[in-house]
């Protein structure tokens, strides 16, 4: 080991890690300022700089004193994940691969529509729930994301879209978070539907949602934030208490037998228990419904009989059904149901009085299924690492 490396390492050990302010919701940031001997109202000022002006460099936060800016530079950073890759589909769907400091990759997808722009974010690196149709599941579970890594995904996407719309970051007239003119906001809705099960990373997710909702943060109402779960029943009750955002549930089957196969978590929380929890989630909430995600798998769960069973199951739950065309994934045998079958399934549900929409297929020309892009890029990286190490190893082996 060289002298310089030892010096560098000692320096790293001596220096306490700086706080990434993306990790703190407003109450956390108020506590941070109090702890460093400052007034708590500084939190609102810094929040506005970060989330309304898009500024991450303390030296540009001009309504803070020079001394405070210097102190913040010593004690904190505002660091989103690094944007590694962006794929743009012909239909306007964008998918970013973002790289975390430990080298792990996560995916973020933006889906523009006429009236809204929806951003789909990740909550974990990989996932432990092992749903059999899912590309993310194939990577296994690596770790939970921290709240700064969750908030940082939104900040990155917002920043990049705002720039594209012609604003110079967040400080132009267009597309700034907190802007009440919805049509000028690039991102109107956020869904926690990317990689991972959000309710298995509860604390970080709740803290991140607090920043998404904060008027000085991204300023999104709770109805515009949707948390999608595979059915973590106990955490659903807690979520209703702590942060009652819109709820989506990945149902995908009408019998426990089939759901055990598609979503193995069902063995722990079977359909009847899950639906009771859904009913409880929306009790007392006016006009609120649970969205049931139903992936249409050819010859697996898409028959007329299954449509009727689904309608029967949802009789007593304020529900909306999203029929999702399956995005084929390499190595996964399921196939997308033909459009005629999807239409027929939808009509049966509609006839039974269940609000049902078919999600448009988006981003077909990019790696649209969750987990596909990370899987491909990291496979390539691992492959090239393997090839490099093979090449390095060859001479000594010879
Ligand atoms: S579908 Fe969602 S919960 Fe299931 S394995 Fe994939 S990421 Fe996890």
Q: Is the pLDDT of residue 173 over 60?
A: no
Average confidence (pLDDT) over 182-194: 78
Distance 134 CA to ligand 1 centre (A): 6
Q: Which of 132, 199, 205, 230 to mutate to test the pocket of ligand 1 (most atoms within 8 A of CB)?
A: 230
- For residues 177 and 251, the model is more confident at 251
Residues whose CB falls within 8 Å of the CB of residue 185, separated by 6 or more in sequence, listed in order? 117, 175, 176, 177, 179
Ligand 1 centroid to residue 324 C-alpha, Å: 15
- The residue with tokens 């459009």 is 339
Question: From CA 101, how far away is CA 78, in angstroms rounded?
Answer: 13
Provide the H-helix boundaries in 283-353: 304-313, 339-351
Q: Scan for tokens 């530079």, then name that residue.
A: 73
Q: Is 277 helix (H, G, I), strand (E, B) or coil?
A: helix
Q: For residues 264 and 256, what is the distance between their CA atoms, to the nearest angstrom?
A: 10
Lowest model confidence (mean pLDDT) among 6-20, 45-59, 179-193: 6-20
Greatest distance between any 2 Cα atoms in the chain: 76
Q: Per the residue annotation, which of 120, 127, 278, 370 is the catalytic one?
A: 370
- What is the pLDDT at residue 375? 53
C-alpha to C-alpha distance for 136 and 220, rounded to whole angstroms: 27
Q: Provide the whole-model pTM.
A: 0.86
pLDDT band at 147 (very low <50, low <70, confident <90, very high): very high
Cα 185 to Cα 177: distance, rounded to the nearest angstrom = 7
**Shortest-distance atom of ligand 1 to CA 196:** 7
Residue in 30, 75, 107, 131 annotated catalytic: 107
Radius of gyration of the chain, Cα coordinates, nearest whole angstrom: 23
pLDDT attached to residue 159: 87
Residue 177, number of CB atoms within 10 A of its CB? 26
State mean pLDDT over 228-250.
Answer: 95
Expressed in angstroms and rounded, the spacing between residue 330 Cα and the centre of ligand 1 is 16
Residue 338 DSSP label: P
The pLDDT of residue 90 = 86
- What's the rounded mean pLDDT across residues 95-110? 93
CB atoms within 10 A of CB 234: 10
Report the pLDDT averaged over residues 307-311: 98
- For the chain, domains (ranges, CATH) are 3-77 (1.10.150.530), 82-360 (3.20.20.70)
Task: Output the CA 327–ligand 1 centroid distance in Å.
Answer: 14
- How many other CB atoms are found less than 10 A from the CB of residue 299? 10
pLDDT tens digit string along 333-382?
Answer: 999 999 999 999 999 999 999 999 998 776 666 655 555 555 555 554 44
Mean pLDDT of 148-159: 95
What pLDDT score does 392 carry? Answer: 31
For the question of residue 120 being annotated catalytic, the response is no
- Among the listed residues 270, 233, 228, the one whose alpha carbon sits nearest the alpha carbon of residue 253: 270
Nearest protein CA to atom 7 of ligand 1, as residue: 196
Q: State mean pLDDT over 218-236.
A: 95
| In contact, 142 and 125? CB cutoff 8 Å | yes
**Assigned token pair, 385:** 């690492």
Closest protein CA for atom 4 of ligand 1: 131
Distance from residue 356's CA to the centre of ligand 1 (Å): 22
Instruction: State the pLDDT confidence band at 11, using cuts at 50, 70 and 90.
Output: very low
Q: Which residues line ligand 1 (CB under 6 A)?
A: 127, 129-131, 134, 136-137, 195-197, 230
pLDDT digits over 25-76, tens only?
Answer: 999 999 999 999 999 999 999 999 999 889 999 999 999 999 999 999 999 9
Is residue 170 over pLDDT 80? no
Is residue 385 annotated as a catalytic residue, yes or no?
A: no
């Amino acid at each position: 080991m060289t002298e310089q490396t030892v010096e560098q390492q000692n320096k790293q050990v001596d220096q306490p890690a700086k706080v990434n302010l993306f990790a703190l919701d407003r109450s956390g940031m108020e506590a941070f300022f109090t702890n460093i001997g400052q007034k708590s109202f500084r939190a609102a000022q810094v929040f506005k700089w970060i989330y309304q002006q898009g500024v991450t460099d303390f030296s540009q936060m001009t309504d803070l004193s020079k001394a405070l800016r210097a102190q913040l530079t010593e004690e904190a950073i505002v660091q989103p994940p690094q944007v590694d890759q962006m794929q743009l589909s012909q239909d306007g769907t964008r998918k970013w691969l973002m790289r975390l400091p430990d080298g792990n990759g996560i995916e973020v997808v933006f889906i523009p529509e006429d009236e809204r722009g929806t951003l789909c974010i990740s909550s974990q690196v990989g996932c432990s729930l092992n749903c059999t149709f899912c590309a993310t599941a194939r990577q296994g579970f690596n770790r939970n994301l921290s709240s700064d890594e969750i908030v940082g995904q939104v900040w990155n996407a917002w920043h990049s879209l705002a720039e594209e719309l012609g604003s110079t970051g967040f400080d132009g007239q267009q597309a700034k978070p907190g802007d009440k003119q919805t049509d000028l906001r690039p991102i109107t809705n956020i869904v926690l539907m990317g990689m991972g099960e959000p309710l298995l990373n509860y604390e970080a997710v709740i803290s991140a949602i607090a920043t998404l909702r904060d008027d000085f943060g991204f300023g999104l109402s709770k109805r515009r934030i949707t948390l999608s779960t595979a059915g973590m029943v106990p955490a659903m009750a807690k979520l209703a208490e702590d942060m009652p955002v819109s709820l989506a549930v990945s149902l995908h089957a009408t019998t426990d037998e089939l759901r055990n196969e598609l979503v193995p978590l069902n063995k722990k929380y079977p359909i009847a228990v899950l639906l009771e929890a859904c009913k409880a989630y929306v009790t007392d909430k006016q006009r609120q419904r649970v969205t049931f995600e139903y992936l249409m798998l050819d010859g697996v769960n898409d028959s007329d009989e299954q449509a009727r069973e689904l309608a029967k199951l949802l009789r007593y739950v304020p529900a909306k059904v999203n029929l999702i065309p399956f995005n084929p994934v390499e190595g996964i045998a399921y196939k997308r149901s033909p459009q005629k079958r999807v239409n027929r399934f939808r009509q049966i549900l509609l006839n039974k009085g269940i609000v049902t929409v078919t999600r448009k297929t988006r981003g077909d020309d990019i790696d649209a299924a969750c987990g596909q892009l990370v899987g491909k890029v990291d496979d390539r990286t691992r492959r090239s690492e393997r090839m490099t190490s093979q090449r390095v190893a060859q001479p000594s082996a010879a």
